[in-house]
């Protein structure tokens, strides 16, 4: 089986070498060869890609339009990062529709996935424009977009919106505050907890995670924490009036609700954490050429602009902005630049330390079963 999975990629390997080394027509030829090889595979299996997350709905539609011969099989859109990694583990010998070709991971999870040999290296043709501090030098994983932790607030139910994390302990927020996933497996929830810890004066990393757990224990004891996975629907229904989530998710939810109910998106005054998500290809991908073509699309000008449309800052933001490649109207829709000035970008080691603290301590410190 291993020979089948790796041997089929000889066309993509040649294409990747050409993409990395040759400009102009050679690049176009290599892309054409890769696209042909991907179309012969005929499918791509993705996982954990909600259509309202970072503009994924339009990004997927754009890929389908550009490569109509490749069917996209979408697994479990609401899965967390740990679920994605487990899906690779569970399907090592499976070439069927339950085996993901590609994954979109919280950056804290990526080094361990590489160490476990669950992901394979591939460097896209725009590799040099991805900042070095958000990519594996060997190409096993690479940052694709980021946002900052914020609060989504149902204005019909919350009279005085929270300006910062400590506000959430007030009686005004009884039975109101939620996370977007299980803090034992969701990268978004894990980093929300560190954001809360940093707002208490904790350092980035393990200390932030531990202080964040203490904060959520207080929230839970006060009756303010709701152990429900927050999303647009739960905000609209009043089940979770305040949700801590990435700004791009909240902005997309706000747009989707169309004022019913009206929703505020607030970046807290302190503990502003920037979260980078990374792309990777499964080491056991049944469709390795389609997986590589997907990566090329995501890191192309078209794909990166798709993230911006979804309120995310794409990995190539600096290079593309300098080259004037982003439409002004999209840039104008982002929150004010001042919202991002205080943002902290944790290192891989800090992310790993926070993840260990949160996943290991949630049950004993907070004890709420988020579902």
DSSP state of 202: P
In terms of domains, do 88 and 190 share one?
no
In terms of domains, do 255 and 354 share one?
yes
Give me the number of domains the chain comprises: 2
- 32 CB-near residues (< 8 Å, 6+ apart): none
Residue with tokens 């080491």: 283
Is residue 141 in some structural domain? no
DSSP state of 107: G
* Cα–Cα distance, 340 to 362 (Å, whole number): 28
Is residue 317 in some structural domain? yes
Is residue 370 in some structural domain? no
Give residue 255's domain range.
155-273+343-365
Q: pLDDT value at position 2?
A: 27
* Cα–Cα distance, 121 to 117 (Å, whole number): 10
User: b/e for 96-131, b at 16 or more Cβ within 10 A?
Assistant: eeebbbbbbbbbbbbbebbeeebbbbbbbbbeebbe
Q: pLDDT value at position 101?
A: 98
In terms of domains, do 213 and 227 share one?
yes
In terms of domains, do 220 and 318 share one?
no
**pLDDT tens, N- to C-terminus, the chain (371 residues):** 222 333 334 444 444 444 444 455 556 778 999 999 999 999 999 999 999 999 999 999 999 999 999 999 999 999 999 999 999 999 998 999 999 999 999 999 999 999 999 999 999 999 999 999 999 999 999 999 999 999 999 999 999 999 999 999 999 999 999 999 999 999 999 999 999 999 999 999 999 999 999 999 999 999 999 999 999 999 999 999 999 999 999 999 999 999 999 999 999 999 999 999 999 999 999 999 999 999 999 999 999 999 999 999 999 999 999 999 999 999 988 877 777 788 999 999 999 999 999 999 999 999 999 98
Q: pLDDT value at position 337?
A: 76
In terms of domains, do 353 and 321 share one?
no
In terms of domains, do 217 and 322 share one?
no
In terms of domains, do 101 and 21 share one?
yes
CB 312 within 8 A of CB 248: yes
Q: pLDDT value at position 26?
A: 59
In terms of domains, do 104 and 229 share one?
no
In terms of domains, do 239 and 357 share one?
yes
Is residue 38 in some structural domain? yes
Interval 287-331: pLDDT, tens: 999 999 999 999 999 999 999 999 999 999 999 999 999 999 999
Is residue 371 in some structural domain? no
Is residue 115 in some structural domain? yes
Q: pLDDT value at position 22?
A: 45
Residue 202 is part of a domain; what is its CATH number?
3.40.190.10
The HSE-up count of residue 63 (CA atoms within 13 Å, CB side) is 30
Helix, strand, coil share (%) of the chain residues, nearest 5: 50, 15, 35
Interval 170-200: pLDDT, tens: 999 999 999 999 999 999 999 999 999 999 9
In terms of domains, do 113 and 92 share one?
yes
């Amino acid at each position: 089986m291993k020979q089948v999975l790796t041997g089929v990629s000889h066309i993509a390997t040649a294409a990747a070498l050409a993409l990395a080394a040759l400009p102009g027509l050679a690049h176009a030829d290599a892309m054409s060869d890769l696209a042909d090889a991907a179309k012969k595979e005929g499918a791509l299996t993705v996982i954990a890609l909600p259509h309202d997350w970072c503009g994924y709905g339009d990004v997927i539609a754009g890929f389908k339009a550009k490569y109509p011969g490749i069917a996209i099989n979408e697994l479990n859109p609401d899965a967390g990062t740990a679920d994605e990694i487990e899906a690779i583990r569970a399907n090592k010998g499976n070439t069927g529709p339950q085996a993901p070709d590609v994954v979109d991971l919280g950056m804290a999870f990526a080094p361990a996935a590489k160490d476990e040999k669950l992901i394979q290296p591939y460097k896209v043709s725009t590799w040099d424009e991805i900042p070095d501090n958000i990519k594996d030098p060997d190409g096993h994983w690479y940052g694709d977009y980021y946002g900052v932790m914020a609060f989504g607030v149902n204005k019909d139910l919350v009279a005085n919106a929270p300006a910062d994390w400590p506000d959430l302990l007030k009686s005004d927020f009884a039975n109101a505050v939620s996370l977007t996933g299980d803090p034992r497996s969701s990268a978004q929830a894990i980093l929300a907890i560190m954001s809360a810890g940093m707002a208490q004066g904790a350092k980035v990393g393990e200390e932030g995670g531990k202080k964040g757990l203490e904060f959520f224990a207080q929230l839970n004891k006060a009756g303010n924490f709701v152990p429900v996975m927050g999303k647009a629907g739960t905000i609209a229904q009043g089940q979770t009036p305040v949700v801590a989530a990435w700004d791009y998710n909240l902005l997309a939810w706000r747009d989707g609700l169309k004022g019913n109910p009206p929703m505020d998106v607030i970046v807290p005054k302190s503990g502003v954490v920037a979260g980078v998500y990374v792309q990777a290809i499964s080491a056991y991908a049944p469709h390795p050429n389609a997986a590589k073509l997907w990566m090329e699309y995501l890191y192309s000008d078209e794909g990166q602009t798709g993230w911006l449309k979804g309120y995310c800052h794409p990995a190539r933001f600096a290079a593309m902005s300098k080259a004037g490649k982003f439409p002004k109207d999209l840039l104008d829709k982002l929150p004010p630049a001042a919202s991002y000035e205080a943002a902290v970008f944790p290192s891989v080691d800090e992310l790993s330390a926070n993840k260990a603290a949160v996943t290991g301590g949630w049950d004993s410190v907070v004890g709420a079963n988020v579902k």
